[in-house]
Structure 1
Amino acid sequence: MDEQDVEVLYKQALSYMEQGDKQMAIEFFNKAIAMDPNYSPAWNDKGIVHMELKEFDEAFKCFDTAMRIDSSNSMPVYNMGYVLLMQEKYEDAVHAFDMFLERYPDEKNEFYKYGLYLKAEAHYKLKQYDQAKNLLDKAIKRDRIFKEARDLMIKILQDEKNIKSTN
């Protein structure tokens, strides 16, 4: 196995991914993985393509493999949480985002902010409004104009108001 060959196949897969040719992207990710089964970036990005194709079980397997290969890389954990959220497995998504936020070193990075938001969304779906609001507060402190977080906060406050008015 030549590391340069794996990298060329991986970059070709990314190019197909950017062009929207998901099947060719998967084909080239598979070629890179065949040359080096421990090439974590190919597993992670292959999972992203499967996620875009709504092939959630396959995406989850790819992210899980990427995470097992390189436990220091937090992005497969983030992606696993996102897939679980899309599958409406909210409690599992909360746990995945807990792990991501615990492991992710850069609180100033966009992914950290979105990790807070997506975890809040899972709590919202579970009707755990206080947990969701706390997370959204943290996300909004990092980015005062974080539209998605602000919109979800408004939705939560409206839901709470509706609950109080029916009681």
Structure 2
Amino acid sequence: MSNQAYPKGFVRKDMFFVVVFFALSLGFAAGVITGSMYNPPRPQMQAAQGMGQMPPQQMPPQQMPPQAGPGGMTEAERTRLLALETDVTKRPGDVAALNNLGHFYFDHGMPQKAVETYRKSLEINDNQPDIWTDKGVMHRELKDYEQSLASFEKAIALNPKHEHARFNRGVVLIFDLDRKEEGLAAWRELLAMNPNVRAPNGQLLSDIIASMQ
């Protein structure tokens, strides 16, 4: 793994890809559940007059905050996972069902299961650059950097204007594979397409490149 330092103010690479996923998810086709939909805000506990917050056991059921159970998931999340897995069992060849399940695994820190589920989806229809990008993110979580890179490159081959895949490709080349010059070249290609492209923290890519030269 590379010891390359990150540019000042740049997000840590273990956080970057999650941010990229949420940005990508905004462009998913209707019917595909996005990552942000899996994490609704925690309900606010209601305060009883003159008593501050009510103890959880005294709160009405609809106001109870979700409680994490075995595996760190709430009951609602476990119910959702069961529904998604059941849907895939009933419709094993349905790309949307597989992607929904893959996104759940992605958002809940199960990269191996996400990779396996995305692979099944791509075996049915490999013309999904967003899913190739998400698969690349999950490979990186597993420290499988070559497969991560290959997934981003497949996404770019399918959609040469896929900015997130191009950005991610540069990140893996520079910070994971010690191929800094290739990574910077990849980012320069992205800049040629969009001079105003920014990293998830809002920093201009052109400024990041300048700080690394």
TM-score normalised by L of structure 2: 0.58
Alignment partner, residue 127 of structure 2 = 72
Picking from 128, 131, 137, the partner of 2:188 is 137
Moved more, 84-93 or 116-125: 84-93
Provide the C-alpha distance between the structure 1 equivalents of 2:35 and 2:184, rounded to a whole number of angstroms. Answer: 39
Provide the C-alpha distance between the structure 2 equivalents of 1:67 and 1:39, rounded to a whole number of angstroms. Answer: 11
Equivalent position amino acid for 2:190 in 1: A
Note closer, same or farther for the CA distance 1:15–1:156 as it changes in structure 2 (3 Å cut).
closer
Q: Does 1:147 align with 2:198?
A: yes
Q: Does 1:119 align with 2:175?
A: no
**Shift of residue 17, structure 1, vs aligned partner:** 6.3
Q: Whose relative contact order is higher, 1 or 2, with alpha carbons under 8 Å and at least 6 apart?
A: 2
Give the helix-richer structure, 1 or 2.
1
Alignment partner, residue 49 of structure 2 = none
Note closer, same or farther for the CA distance 1:19–1:77 as it changes in structure 2 (3 Å cut).
closer
Which runs of structure 2 are paired with 1:1-167 in the superposition (5 Å)? 14=33, 18-20=37-39, 22-104=77-159, 107=161, 112-125=162-175, 126-148=177-199, 149-150=205-206, 152-154=208-210, 156-157=212-213
Displaced runs of 4 or more, over 6 A: none
Give 3-state SS (helix, strand or coil) of 2:114's partner.
Answer: helix
Give 3-state SS (helix, strand or coil) of 1:95's partner.
Answer: helix
Please list the CA deviations of residues 104-144 of structure 1 after superposition, one character each: whole Å capped at 9, or x if unmatched.
2x62xxxx001000010010021211111111112223332
Provide the C-alpha distance between the structure 2 equivalents of 1:62 and 1:32, rounded to a whole number of angstroms. Answer: 13
Provide the C-alpha distance between the structure 2 equivalents of 1:152 and 1:43, rounded to a whole number of angstroms. Answer: 36
Give 3-state SS (helix, strand or coil) of 2:33's partner.
Answer: helix
Q: Quick check: 2:136–2:148 contact (8 Å CA) kept in 1?
A: yes
Number of aligned residue pairs: give it: 142
- Please tell me the root mean square deviation across aligned C-alpha atoms, in Å: 2.7
Unaligned runs of 5+ in 2: 1-29, 40-75, 200-204
Which entry has the higher C-alpha Rg, 1 or 2?
2
Q: Quick check: 2:35–2:103 contact (8 Å CA) kept in 1?
A: no
**Shift of residue 35, structure 1, vs aligned partner:** 2.2
Provide the C-alpha distance between the structure 1 equivalents of 2:148 and 2:92, rounded to a whole number of angstroms. Answer: 27
TM-score normalised by L of structure 1: 0.72
Provide the C-alpha distance between the structure 2 equivalents of 1:74 and 1:124, rounded to a whole number of angstroms. Answer: 22
Q: Quick check: 1:33–1:43 contact (8 Å CA) kept in 2?
A: yes
Moved more, 146-155 or 41-50: 146-155
Equivalent position amino acid for 1:99 in 2: K
Note closer, same or farther for the CA distance 1:41–1:93 as it changes in structure 2 (3 Å cut).
same
